[in-house]
Amino acid sequence: MKTAGRNDPCPCLSGKKHKHCCLAGGGGAPAPQADALHRMGLWALEAGDAATALDHLTRATLARPRFPEAHYHLGLLHMQQGLLDQAAVHYRQAIAIAPGFLQAHANLGVVFNRQGQPLRALDCFLQALSIHEAVEVKIGVAECLQRLPLQTSQRHLRPVLARAIAEAWRRPEELARAASALILCEPHLQGAIAQEGPMAVQALAPWCEDRLLLALLESATVCDVVLERCLTRARAALLAEALAPVAPEEGLWALRGALARQCFINEYAWVRSGPETGQLAQLQARINATLDTGGLPQAHELLALASYRPLHTLAHADALSARPWPEALRAVMRQQIDGVREEERLRERLPRLTAIGENTSCRVRRQYEENPYPRWTRPSLFPAPLSLDDRLRGQVPQARFQPLGERRSIDILVAGCGTGRHSTETANHYRGAQVLAIDLSARSLAYAMRQARALGLARIEYAQADLLQLGAIERRFDLIESVGVLHHLAEPEAGWRALLPLLRPGGLMLVGLYSELARAPVVAARRFIAERGFPATADGIRDARAALMACDGPEALQRLTTFGDFFGLSACRDLLFHEQEHRTTLPDIQALLRRLGLDFVGLHVEPTVRQRFRARFPDEGAAHDLGLWHRYETEHPETFVGMYQFWVQKRA
Pick left, alpha or beta for residue 153 (phi over 0 → left; psi -120 to 50 → alpha; otherwise beta).
alpha
The gap from C-alpha 7 to its chain's centroid, in whole angstroms, comes to 34
Q: Which of 464, 477, 481 is nearest to 429 (CA)?
A: 481
Contact of 166 with 215, CB cutoff 8 Å: yes
When pLDDT is averaged across residues 151-160 and rounded to a whole number, the result is: 86
Return d(Cα 342, Cα 463) in angstroms, integer: 17
What's the pLDDT band for 14 if we cut at 50, 70, 90? very low
**With helix as H, strand as E and coil as C, how does 145-180 read?**
HHHCCCCHHHHHHHHHHHHHHHCCCCCHHHHHHHHH
pTM of structure: 0.90
Query: H or E segment at 289?
Result: helix 274-292
What's the pLDDT band for 25 if we cut at 50, 70, 90? very low
Contact of 516 with 425, CB cutoff 8 Å: no
Residues of the chain with CATH 3.40.50.150: 359-515+583-606+638-650
438 or 364, which is more confident: 438
Q: What is the pLDDT of residues 255-297, one digit of tens each?
A: 999 999 999 999 999 999 999 999 999 999 999 999 999 999 9
Contact of 397 with 468, CB cutoff 8 Å: no
What's the pLDDT band for 359 if we cut at 50, 70, 90? confident
Q: What is the pLDDT of residue 26?
A: 43
Q: What is the pLDDT of residues 295-311, one digit of tens each?
A: 999 999 999 999 999 99
Give the orientation angle of helix 225-243 with respect to helix 299-306, to 10 degrees.
140
The verdict on whether omega for the bond into residue 374 sits within 30 degrees of 0, i.e. cis, is yes
Residues of the chain with CATH 1.25.40.10: 22-148
pLDDT of 344 > 70? The answer is: yes
Contact of 443 with 401, CB cutoff 8 Å: no
**By mean pLDDT, which of 517-521, 551-555, 572-576, 620-624 is the weakest?**
551-555
CB atoms within 10 A of CB 406: 11
Q: What is the pLDDT of residue 10?
A: 37
When pLDDT is averaged across residues 483-509 and rounded to a whole number, the result is: 95
pLDDT of 15 > 60? The answer is: no
pLDDT of 467 > 70? The answer is: yes
CA distances from 99 to 25, 61, 135, 479 (A): 6, 17, 20, 41
Cα(first)–Cα(last) distance of the chain, in Å? 30
Query: H or E segment at 287?
Result: helix 274-292
Contact of 121 with 149, CB cutoff 8 Å: no
C-alpha atoms less than 13 angstroms from C-alpha of 544 in its C-beta half-sphere? 31
Return d(Cα 507, Cα 651) in angstroms, integer: 8
Q: What is the pLDDT of residues 516-526, one digit of tens each?
A: 999 999 999 99
Contact of 604 with 646, CB cutoff 8 Å: yes
* DSSP code for 352: B
Q: Is 408 helix (H, G, I), strand (E, B) or coil?
A: coil
CATH no., domain 22-148: 1.25.40.10
Query: H or E segment at 647?
Result: strand 644-650
Q: How many residues does the chain have?
A: 652
Torsion over CA of 596, 598, 604 and 610, rounded to 10 degrees? Answer: 110
Identity of residue 397:
P
Residue 83: what are its φ and ψ, rounded to 5°? -90, 75
Q: What is the pLDDT of residue 531?
A: 95
CB atoms within 10 A of CB 618: 8
Q: What is the pLDDT of residue 400?
A: 93
Return d(Cα 310, Cα 587) in angstroms, integer: 46
Q: Which of 69, 78, 147 is nearest to 113 (CA)?
A: 147
What's the pLDDT band for 152 if we cut at 50, 70, 90? low
Q: What is the pLDDT of residue 553?
A: 67
Q: What is the pLDDT of residue 628?
A: 97
pLDDT of 172 > 80? The answer is: yes
What's the pLDDT band for 247 if we cut at 50, 70, 90? confident
CA distances from 425 to 372, 417, 419, 649 (A): 18, 11, 12, 21
pLDDT of 4 > 80? The answer is: no
What's the pLDDT band for 464 if we cut at 50, 70, 90? very high
pLDDT of 418 > 80? The answer is: yes
Level-2 CATH architecture, domain 359-515+583-606+638-650? 3-Layer(aba) Sandwich (3.40)
Q: What is the pLDDT of residues 48-106, one digit of tens each?
A: 899 999 999 999 999 999 999 999 999 999 988 889 999 999 999 999 999 999 999 99
Q: What is the pLDDT of residues 201-238, one digit of tens each?
A: 888 999 999 999 999 999 999 999 999 999 999 999 99
Strand segments, DSSP code E, in 492-543 are 503-513
Contact of 374 with 570, CB cutoff 8 Å: yes
Looking at the DSSP assignment, which residues form a beta bridge with residue 462? 437
Strand segments, DSSP code E, in 339-429 are 410-415
